[in-house]
Amino acid sequence: MTVPVLRLSAVTRVFSEGAGKLEILKGADLTIEAGQMVALVAPSGTGKSTLLHIAGLLEKPDSGEVYVGGRPCGALGDDARTAIRRNDIGFVYQFHHLLPEFTALENVMMPQMIQGLPKATAAERAGQLLAYMRLGARGSHLPSEMSGGEQQRVAIARAVANAPQLLLLDEPTGNLDPQTAHYVFDALHALVHATGVAALFATHNMELAERMDRVITLRDGLILDV
Q: What is the pLDDT of residue 140?
A: 97
pLDDT at 1: 64
Low-confidence ranges of the chain (pLDDT < 50): none
pLDDT tens figures, 137-195 = 999 999 999 998 899 889 989 999 999 999 999 988 887 888 888 888 888 888 888 88
The H helix count followed by the E strand count for the chain is 7, 10
CA dihedral 159, 163, 164, 166 (to 10 degrees): 80
Residue 217 main-chain phi, psi, to 5 deg: -140, 165
Within 13 Å, how many C-alpha atoms sit on residue 161's CB side?
32
For the chain, the structural domain boundaries read: 6-225
For residues 155 and 96, give the distance between their C-alpha atoms in angstroms, rounded to a whole number. 6
**pLDDT value at residue 97:** 84
Given this model, what pLDDT does residue 51 score?
Answer: 94
Class of domain 6-225: alpha beta
For residues 112 and 133, what is the distance between their CA atoms, to the nearest angstrom? Answer: 18
Give the Cβ contact number of residue 73 at 10 Å.
19
Cβ–Cβ under 8 Å, residues 31 and 7: yes
What pLDDT does 53 receive? 95
- The predicted model scores a pTM of 0.89
Return the closest-CA partner of residue 23 out of 35, 38, 36, 13. Answer: 13
